[in-house]
Each structure stands twice: as structure tokens, then as C-alpha cells.
Amino acid sequence: MTNPRPKLPPDIVLPVNQPLPKPPGMEWWIRHIANQGGTPEEMPIRTREWLEAECLRVANREIEVRGQLVHVRIRRLYPAWSGPNWEVAEFVPPLPPIAEKMARIAISILTGTYALA
């Protein structure tokens, strides 16, 4: 029985007596992060009712909320067909601050995934 040797990372070859290459600047990182979201055409469009029901389902799964929510209201931020264009407006009944924060964090995944029709 032989133990396979772990793969070693490739050798990094740096030029001798030359300065190191500059790391990417802040503008590069901003463009890189902005381009990872995809285009608005790739984002599935959903109705307000569907999004509110999905937000309710996701938020009620959080341990801090424990199924206390009855309804989640959302509001439009931007016109339709413009990518992520909605946010949570209100929880019914109102949640304690820590539960509201955890519910908003859980719902943030939906905000970046679906657009409001």
C-alpha cells in the first residue's frame, strides 16, 4: 500500500533583479466584483406574490425567527428589467432587532437571485 504524495503547488518563477509586478488596483477589484453579478437578462423575473411567499419561507427557517412571521412585504427599488430591483419593506408582525437582522441576511440571497416583475 503506497501513500500518494500530495501535489505540490507549481513553482513560482520571478525575474531576477527585477521589481515585483504591481498587484491589481482598487479600480480593477471594483470592475471584477461588478462583473460577477451577471447581466440583468440572466436574472429570473418573479411576481411580487411569489417573492413575498419565498421570503416568508426563507425567513421562517432562521432559528431566531422560529416561524413567527405571518407576512413579508417587499418594495420595488428600480424599474422592472434592471437586475436586483427590490428589498424587504416590512415584516408582519415586527421582529426583535436581532431576528430581523438574521431574516434580512437570509433573504439577501433571494434579492441577488430574482428580479421583481
What pLDDT does residue 94 have? 93
Q: Is residue 21 part of a domain?
A: no
Residue 59: domain span: 41-116
Domain contains 23: no
Residue 26, in any domain of the structure: no
Q: Tens of pLDDT along the chain (117 residues)?
A: 566 776 766 666 666 777 666 666 777 666 766 666 555 557 788 999 999 999 999 999 998 888 889 999 999 988 876 678 899 999 999 999 999 999 999 999 888 888 888
Residues 6+ away with beta carbon under 8 Å from 12: none
- Per the structure, the count of domains in the chain is 1
Whether 101 is in a domain gets the answer: yes
- What is the Cα–Cα distance from 111 to 113, expressed in whole angstroms? 6
The residue among 29, 53, 23, 37 whose CA lies nearest residue 85 is: 37
pTM of the full predicted structure? 0.63
Q: Count Cβ neighbours within 10 Å for each residue of 23-38 and write b for 16 or more, e otherwise.
A: eeeeeeeeeeeeeeee
Helix then strand then coil, in percent of the chain rounded to 5, is 35, 15, 50
